[in-house]
Structure 1
Amino acid sequence: MSAALRAQLFLCLISLLSGTGLTRYIEDNEASDGLYSLISLAQKRESEDFVFRRPLRCLDMLATEGYFTFVATRPQLACAAFIIAEPSEVISMELSDVSIDCSAGDFIKIFDGWVLKGEKFPSSNDHPLLPHERYTDYCSSAASTLSGRSSQNVAMIFFRIHSPDSGFTLAVKKVHNPFPCNIMSQSPEGSFTMVMPHQRRNCSFSIIYPVEIRLTDLSLGDAKSNEISPLRQMWPGCSGSGDYVELLGGNGVDTSKMFPVADLCFSLSGLAQMKIGCDNSVVRLVSSGNYINRVTFQYRLLDQNEIPKTRENSLENFCSVE
Structure 2
Amino acid sequence: MFSKSISASILLFSVVGAFHVVRAAIDNDHRQQQLINEAANILAYEAGAKTSFEISRERYQPITDCMFVTSENGPFSYISPSDSDDVCGIYFLTDPDRTIEVHFESFDVPCDHHGLLAVVDGWELNGELFPSEGDHSLPIKERVTEFCGKSRWYRSKKIFTSSQNAALLQYRIPMRGKGFVVSARYPKNPRPCNVLSVSTTDPFTLRNYGRRINCTLIAIYPGIVQVIALGVGGTNLHGVSRMTETGTLHKCDTKSPQDQVQIGGSRNLDTTKLDVIDSICGIDSKPDIKESVPYDVTIVRLISSGYCDNSVTVAIRSIIDNDMLEIASGL
TM tier, smaller: 0.7 to 0.9
Partners in 2 of 1:31 and 1:303 — Cα distance? 21
Q: Which runs of 5+ in 1 are unaligned?
A: 1-10, 19-28, 45-50, 311-319
Q: What is the percent sequence identity of the aligned residues?
A: 26
In structure 1, the residue corresponding to 2:176 is in which secondary structure? coil
Alpha carbons of structure 1 residues 273 and 159: separation in structure 2 relative to 1, 3 Å: same
Measured against aligned partners, the alpha-carbon deviations of 1:100-137 in whole angstroms (never above 9, x if no partner) come to 11122100000000111111100110011001000111
Does the CA contact (< 8 Å) of 1:233 and 1:261 recur in 2?
no
Cα distance, 1:93 vs structure 2: 0.4
Alpha carbons of structure 1 residues 236 and 152: separation in structure 2 relative to 1, 3 Å: same
In structure 1, the residue corresponding to 2:312 is in which secondary structure? strand
The alignment covers a number of residue pairs equal to: 284
Partners in 2 of 1:289 and 1:155 — Cα distance? 27
Cα distance, 1:306 vs structure 2: 1.3
Does the CA contact (< 8 Å) of 2:17 and 2:221 recur in 1?
no
Aligned partner of 1:69: which letter? Answer: S
Is 1:194 matched with 2:202? no
Q: Determine which of 277, 280, 285 is the counterpart of 1:264.
A: 280
In structure 1, the residue corresponding to 2:186 is in which secondary structure? strand
Alpha carbons of structure 1 residues 64 and 53: separation in structure 2 relative to 1, 3 Å: same
Partners in 1 of 2:304 and 2:280 — Cα distance? 13
**Corresponding residue for residue 171 of structure 1:** 183
Does the CA contact (< 8 Å) of 1:244 and 1:265 recur in 2?
yes
Does the CA contact (< 8 Å) of 2:60 and 2:75 recur in 1?
yes
Aligned partner of 1:138: which letter? Answer: F
Cα distance, 1:273 vs structure 2: 1.6
Does the CA contact (< 8 Å) of 2:87 and 2:172 recur in 1?
yes
Q: Determine which of 235, 244, 256 is the counterpart of 1:222.
A: 235
Aligned partner of 1:227: which letter? Answer: T
In structure 2, the residue corresponding to 1:213 is in which secondary structure? strand
Alpha carbons of structure 1 residues 100 and 30: separation in structure 2 relative to 1, 3 Å: farther
Partners in 1 of 2:108 and 2:101 — Cα distance? 21
Aligned partner of 1:222: which letter? Answer: T
Is 1:111 matched with 2:98? no
Does the CA contact (< 8 Å) of 2:117 and 2:171 recur in 1?
yes
Alpha carbons of structure 1 residues 128 and 273: separation in structure 2 relative to 1, 3 Å: same
Measured against aligned partners, the alpha-carbon deviations of 1:167-200 in whole angstroms (never above 9, x if no partner) come to 0011111010111111001123321112221211
Q: Determine which of 27, 42, 66 is the counterpart of 2:74.
A: 66
Q: Determine which of 144, 157, 161 is the counterpart of 1:135.
A: 144
**Corresponding residue for residue 54 of structure 1:** 61
Alpha carbons of structure 1 residues 100 and 260: separation in structure 2 relative to 1, 3 Å: same
In structure 1, the residue corresponding to 2:81 is in which secondary structure? coil
Q: Determine which of 243, 250, 263 is the counterpart of 2:266.
A: 250
Partners in 2 of 1:193 and 1:60 — Cα distance? 28
Q: Which moved more, 1:124-133 or 1:209-218?
A: 209-218
**Corresponding residue for residue 6 of structure 2:** none
**Corresponding residue for residue 279 of structure 1:** 296
Measured against aligned partners, the alpha-carbon deviations of 1:237-262 in whole angstroms (never above 9, x if no partner) come to 232xx221110211111101111111
**Per residue, is there more strand in 1 or in 2?**
1
Aligned partner of 2:262: which letter? Answer: E
Q: Which runs of 5+ in 2 are unaligned?
A: 1-10, 19-29, 50-57, 237-241
Q: How is 1:1-322 mapped onto 2 (pairs within 5 angstroms)? A: 13-15=13-15, 33=34, 53-57=60-64, 58-76=66-84, 77-139=86-148, 145-220=157-232, 221-222=234-235, 226-229=245-248, 232-233=250-251, 235-239=253-257, 242-270=258-286, 271-304=288-321, 305-309=323-327, 320=329
Alpha carbons of structure 1 residues 222 and 100: separation in structure 2 relative to 1, 3 Å: same
Measured against aligned partners, the alpha-carbon deviations of 1:285-312 in whole angstroms (never above 9, x if no partner) come to 11122232111112212232112457xx
Aligned partner of 2:101: which letter? Answer: S
Aligned partner of 1:62: which letter? Answer: T
Q: TM-score, normalised by structure 2?
A: 0.76
Measured against aligned partners, the alpha-carbon deviations of 1:50-73 in whole angstroms (never above 9, x if no partner) come to x97311233211111121100011
Alpha carbons of structure 1 residues 243 and 15: separation in structure 2 relative to 1, 3 Å: same
Does the CA contact (< 8 Å) of 2:15 and 2:35 recur in 1?
no
Q: Which moved more, 1:282-291 or 1:167-176?
A: 282-291
Alpha carbons of structure 1 residues 64 and 289: separation in structure 2 relative to 1, 3 Å: same
Partners in 2 of 1:321 and 1:127 — Cα distance? 34
Alpha carbons of structure 1 residues 185 and 321: separation in structure 2 relative to 1, 3 Å: farther
Does the CA contact (< 8 Å) of 1:248 and 1:255 recur in 2?
no
Partners in 2 of 1:215 and 1:123 — Cα distance? 23
Alpha carbons of structure 1 residues 12 and 31: separation in structure 2 relative to 1, 3 Å: closer
Does the CA contact (< 8 Å) of 2:262 and 2:276 recur in 1?
yes
